[in-house]
């Protein structure tokens, strides 16, 4: 009789657990999955200087942060980077307060786009344009090894580099004129970008090639408005992605905010399901993590607004939404974005499968990087 009573109690407990736990667990799992899809920037040389980044990591479970040396909204050279010891300590602090390993990202391309600068105690860098012009792959490898080694030592695990845009328009204000492209020929770009990728992989830093499907022909800067490349973009701009993703399928890709009506008559690339899903994932076979360019840049923020842009980007195939907080600064951007995504899932505007797909890619990549 005692045995039967015990069995009945066990069954009753299992029934209660089954009846009431899944909904709660599903909510918790959904929150966790959505949080992993958000990367934000913040102000401060340590976490004590930024209340919101601690909240975002611990309460909202964001998946990543991005560090800068210059604060654009305030127009001051003070943000997150002071010297090597401080950067190393800041990154360690960020990882220590997170239940899950964080993506810690930076734009360390070399040349003009360099966050870890000589004046802060870091090694000197050279631009992609310089490396492409001398065209010595061993020299590119040497510089890339130094960069990737420093990133690894500091604790960075994501570098938004190399740029694989073709230098079709040397007067392009954000690519060509800043020396960010290796050159105009796909084969040249492939050789040097591959050297950069290999160095980063050796040092356990995820390289993220950018800006898909090509920003090199633009006349406008997407930081301050929409760049329409309909009349200037050429199919060869896909060649570096075709080559590099075939040989290095585990790297990351960053979207471009450019508009090209020949590829999508209605949406810029970041928000285009056809460009990201059909071309990048379909034709080119990309299976890795897709990062957005900064979602607060004017090309997206002023034209679409936060909620519409978030919904369209995720449905287009973006896995990690980057909010650099360095075009405008919003300390509440993470909870706003997470709340919007959850509402879209609950309304059916974003499927839970799409969230799970992104989450799984992110977690698999973090495991491969052996993050602490």
Chain segment 328-345, per-residue pLDDT in tens: 999 999 999 999 999 999
* Prediction pTM value: 0.91
pLDDT at 6 over 60: no
According to the model, what pLDDT value does residue 303 have? 80
32-46, 228-242, 288-302: least confidently modelled range: 288-302
Q: What pLDDT is stored for residue 302 in this prediction?
A: 79
**Between 70 and 27, the higher pLDDT residue:** 70
Is the predicted pLDDT of residue 24 greater than 60, yes or no? no
Calpha distance 119→126 (Å, rounded): 15
Q: Tell me what the mean pLDDT of segment 204-211 comes to.
A: 98
Calpha distance 137→231 (Å, rounded)? 33
pLDDT at 113 over 50: yes
Query: Do residues 116 and 65 lie in contact, with contact meaning Cβ atoms separated by under 8 Å?
Result: no
Beta bridge partners of 253: 209, 290
**Any idea which architecture 42-368 has in CATH?**
Alpha-Beta Barrel (3.20)
Six-digit token string for 163: 């740029």
**Using CA atoms, how far apart are residues 76 and 150, in angstroms rounded to an integer?**
25
| Nearest residue to 82 via CA among 47, 120, 113, 108 | 120
- In this predicted model, what pLDDT tens digit does every residue of 154-164 receive, in sequence order? 999 999 999 99
pLDDT band at 28 (very low <50, low <70, confident <90, very high): low
Instruction: Return the DSSP state at 302.
Output: H
């Amino acid at each position: 009789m005692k045995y039967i009573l015990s069995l009945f109690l066990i069954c009753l407990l299992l029934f209660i657990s089954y009846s009431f736990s899944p909904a709660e667990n599903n909510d918790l799992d959904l929150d966790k999955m959505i949080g992993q899809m958000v990367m934000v920037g913040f102000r401060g040389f340590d976490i004590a200087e930024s209340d919101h980044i601690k909240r975002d990591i611990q309460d909202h479970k964001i998946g990543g942060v991005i560090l800068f040396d210059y604060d654009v909204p305030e127009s001051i050279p003070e943000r997150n980077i002071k010297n090597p010891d401080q950067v190393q300590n800041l990154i360690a602090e960020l990882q220590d307060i997170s239940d899950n390993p964080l993506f810690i990202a930076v734009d360390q391309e070399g040349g003009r786009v360099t966050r870890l600068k000589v004046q802060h105690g870091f090694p000197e860098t050279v631009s992609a344009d310089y490396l492409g012009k001398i065209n010595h792959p061993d020299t590119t490898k040497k510089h890339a090894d130094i960069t990737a080694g420093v990133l690894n030592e500091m604790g960075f695990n994501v570098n938004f580099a190399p740029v694989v845009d073709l230098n079709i328009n040397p007067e392009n204000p954000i690519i060509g004129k800043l020396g960010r492209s290796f050159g105009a020929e796909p084969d040249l770009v492939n050789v040097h970008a591959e050297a950069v990728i290999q160095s980063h992989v050796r040092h356990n830093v995820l390289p993220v090639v950018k800006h898909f499907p090509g920003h090199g022909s633009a006349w406008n800067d997407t930081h301050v408005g929409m760049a329409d490349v309909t009349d200037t973009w050429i199919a060869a701009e896909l060649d570096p992605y075709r080559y590099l993703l075939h040989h290095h399928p585990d790297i990351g890709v960053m979207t471009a905010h450019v508009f090209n009506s020949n590829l999508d008559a209605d949406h810029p690339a970041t928000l285009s399901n056809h460009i990201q899903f059909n071309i990048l994932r379909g034709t080119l076979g990309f299976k890795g993590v897709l990062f957005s360019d900064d979602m607060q840049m004017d090309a997206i923020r002023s034209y679409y607004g936060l909620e519409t842009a978030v919904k369209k980007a995720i449905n287009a195939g973006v896995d990690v939404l980057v909010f650099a907080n360095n075009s405008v600064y919003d300390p509440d951007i993470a909870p706003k974005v997470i709340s919007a995504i959850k509402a879209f899932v609950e309304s059916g505007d974003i499927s839970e499968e799409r969230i799970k797909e992104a989450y799984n890619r992110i977690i698999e990549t973090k495991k491969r990087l052996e993050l602490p």
